[in-house]
Structures are given as structure tokens and as C-alpha cells.
Amino acid sequence: MSEHSFTDHTAHSAPDGSRRLMEAVTRRLGYLPAGVARMAASPQLLEGFLKASALFEASSLEPLAQEVVIMVMAARNGCHVCVAMHTAKLRKLGADEELIDALRRQRPLDDPRLEAVRAFTLEALATAGAVPDEALDAFLAQGWTESNALDVVLGIGTYTLSTFANRLVRAPLDGPLAAFA
């Protein structure tokens, strides 16, 4: 592996286009995640991720279903920072430990509706979006909609960007997330 180390930017050292974004993340989370500080080297990537993330948060999927998509991506892509961050978010949402553990271990979920989201996400990834009719039908049979299916794709795109970038910049686990690693 490379010995390269990405710069941990501050609001003073970051490119102009990243500064306001970094300040907004700090206000929202109460700290500046190292991954964001390192992604700040590309204002376009940082802004693209933050905009896509906001769009996904406003999507037709309920928050717990959004977190299922995110955790599928985080665990599948080996993003330890994302796994920890979204473990914390799942706990804040009141998710039970069995659900969190299953998502972290990439195992089927006991809740049929959330398992449909997990399975559909994996199928969309495995087929590069060419999901077979029976897989789409299984998703829809659990009460999800065509809009929800498209929003899963939005989540996949958003968290492919995030997980790949965090891994590329070798983002360390931030102190506030250590308990969720």
C-alpha cells in the first residue's frame, strides 16, 4: 500500500470551494470528520457528496431504510468510518442491536421489509442496475414503490462516492465515532 498521506485540511488550508462546506459539516456534526478534511482537496467531490447525501436524506425512503442502504454500502465496501458513523445513526434512530449487528456482518435481516431493501440493494449492485423482474417484484411486494427503488439507486451512488473517497484518503476513525467502531 502507498505511503501517501492526504492533507488534513482546515478552513484555512482548504481550497476556497471547500471552506464553506467544511464549516457547514462542522456546524451539523459538532466536529470536522477527518474524511471531510481530506476530501476537501477536491471541492467538487466534497460538494457532490454533500448534495447527493442531502438528496438521499430527502428521498422517499424512510430513515431506517436509508440506513440499511448506507450500511450495505459501507460494509460491502469496507469503509470503517462509514460503518461506525452509521452504526451511531442507527442507534440514534432506535434500531435494535440485532439489526445493527446483521448489517455490520452483511447478514439477512429479521424484518422482512428491511430485508427487502437490503436484498434489493445487493441485487442492484450485483446486476449494475439490471435487476431481474422477480427481485423487483419481491421488493415491491413488501410495500416499497418504484420511487423507493430509484431512491435505493440514489443511495448506492451517493455511498459509493463516500466509501470510495474515505478509503482513498485513508480516513481515520474520528474520536466521536470510536465507541461505534
Residue 1, pLDDT > 80, answer no
Q: Which domain range does residue 149 map to?
A: 16-180
Name the grid cell of 129.
442496475
**Distance between first and last Cα of the chain:** 23
Q: Please write the tens of the pLDDT for every residue from 7-44.
A: 999 989 999 999 999 999 999 999 999 999 999 999 99
Q: What is the mean pLDDT of residues 59-75?
A: 98
How many other β-carbons are positioned within 10 Å of the β-carbon of residue 68? 30
Report yes or no on 1 lying in a domain: no
Nearest of 68, 9, 72 to residue 40 by alpha carbon: 9
| CATH of residue 171 | 1.20.1290.10
Q: Please write the tens of the pLDDT for every residue from 136-148.
A: 999 999 999 999 9
Nearest of 109, 106, 108, 67 to residue 88 by alpha carbon: 67
- How many domains in the chain? 1
The band of 2, judged by pLDDT with boundaries at 50, 70 and 90, is: low
pLDDT of residue 177: 77
Report yes or no on 4 lying in a domain: no
DSSP 8-class letter at 181: -
CA of 79: how far to CAs of 1, 11, 166, in Å?
A: 16, 25, 7
pLDDT of residue 4: 77
pLDDT of residue 178: 76
Report yes or no on 10 lying in a domain: no
- This prediction has a pTM of 0.93
Could you tell me if 83 and 92 are in contact, meaning their C-beta atoms sit under 8 angstroms apart? no
Report yes or no on 43 lying in a domain: yes
Per the prediction, the chain carries an average pLDDT of 95
Report yes or no on 165 lying in a domain: yes
Name the grid cell of 181.
467502531
Report yes or no on 11 lying in a domain: no
Report yes or no on 2 lying in a domain: no
pLDDT of residue 3: 67
Report yes or no on 106 lying in a domain: yes
